[in-house]
Structure 1
């Protein structure tokens, strides 16, 4: 799966929502999904970053299934800060998606915040609440709201972003680690509820990747030793396309040896 070779038209006709689409892995996933034919809905809190990804997509030429160059589908921009959004915001957005596109074929839950690395006893209450609001609560309420749109697709895929510290706790990573343990639990619960249905749920652990969050966590690390977001896209393509139609309830690693 990490060396998966996606067909050029893997996502043709699909509508995919990406959170945290303005930077890092989310931005690269949006560009990659669009390159393979998807209409991408770019959700993020910084309009200028979303507009830059939008421009990258509309100015790129994709290779169609017949080998000819064709423009990527025009993406949509949704400026929204998950930290401050409410279930009502998500429900209104879902209705707009249904009205405009008729369905939703996939969601990549990429948006997360790290918080500060500290001893558990020193975690500040507000930081705990802020991290949980973005990484857990917002993800849950957004997923709840989107399910009616996802159920309108023939086969839909929801990908959550996890971490190795969300499987085995690590000292000083308390807030972020607990949020990712919760993410794994949300995915597993949904996957079991929707088993043998047209909607599947999985997690991706990107591993150490050249992103701003990684630099925040490991400021002394040489970023040139890390894979780029583009390097890990095969797994993101595999789980979003129909080749993974029978994969449900799995937590997969982009870099299993790291």
Structure 2
């Protein structure tokens, strides 16, 4: 059985990624245009990976693309894609495009999510609740499901879900976001158990913790943003889970801080 009951663990203290830790790997990052997704895309590219970046904002995607090229990393792929759409065929087509243009996939970071309303459940609007679940849960299911055949072809593949502290212990007024992160933890555990003995795929969660992102600033408007670590400062954990150094670790829920 995978280590499904292990939550809140840290990566090994002695882990130090080599300059080419991800050389030869192709990694897809959702929500790659800003915040943690942007930092992950840049960090993966800087360590040798070919990065496939998904996001809705074309202008921001192009900016990250240019930054990766400036780093001298492998040529990335910027794919404008609306992860919130309720259309399985679009996700299947996306997987087909990636297979046709890149041929393989070694890693998947499911990072895109929205905060939604922060209010009591009895005061939550149905449309907002549905929108949060669509992006934070359903799109992750559709993305992972569609890309599993490609991931199975990799010698060693890694799927990383993005969790949250409020997805491990319920917290008042976090509504749909907290529930979506509980679902994320559960999806990770189920997929890890399904793949542990039948494939080369490891599946884990990572809780980034309090990080200076647009979502954090929206959730805590009175908080001093600089009191939290920048997304760049937590990338060591994200690198570890994509690096072959984490081979054998599956069903775990890590803390980046």
If the length of structure 2 is used for normalisation, what is the TM-score?
0.93
Question: SS of the counterpart of 2:144?
Answer: helix
Matched, 1:119 2:130: no
Q: What is the number of residues matched between the two proteins?
A: 245
For residues 127 and 121 of structure 2, what CA distance do their matches in structure 1 show? 14
Q: Deviations over 1:141-163 (max 9, x none)?
A: 11100001111111100000000
Aligned to 2:45: 34
Q: CA deviation at 1:116?
A: 1.3
Structure 1 ranges of 4+ moved more than 4 A: none
Aligned to 1:250: 252
Q: CA RMSD in A?
A: 1.0
For residues 107 and 47 of structure 1, what CA distance do their matches in structure 2 show? 20
The unaligned stretches of length 5 or more in structure 2 are 1-10
For residues 46 and 30 of structure 2, what CA distance do their matches in structure 1 show? 18
8 Å contact from structure 2 (residues 167, 178) kept in 1 = yes
Matched, 1:20 2:31: yes
Q: Deviations over 1:171-208 (max 9, x none)?
A: 00011000000000100000000003201110000000
For residues 53 and 85 of structure 1, what CA distance do their matches in structure 2 show? 27
Aligned to 1:231: 233
Q: CA deviation at 1:2?
A: 6.8
Matched, 1:103 2:104: yes
8 Å contact from structure 2 (residues 117, 175) kept in 1 = no
For residues 65 and 235 of structure 2, what CA distance do their matches in structure 1 show? 18
The unaligned stretches of length 5 or more in structure 1 are 61-70
Structure 1 segment 1-258 matched on structure 2, within 5 A: 1=11, 4-60=15-71, 71-84=72-85, 86-196=87-197, 197-255=199-257
For residues 160 and 38 of structure 1, what CA distance do their matches in structure 2 show? 19
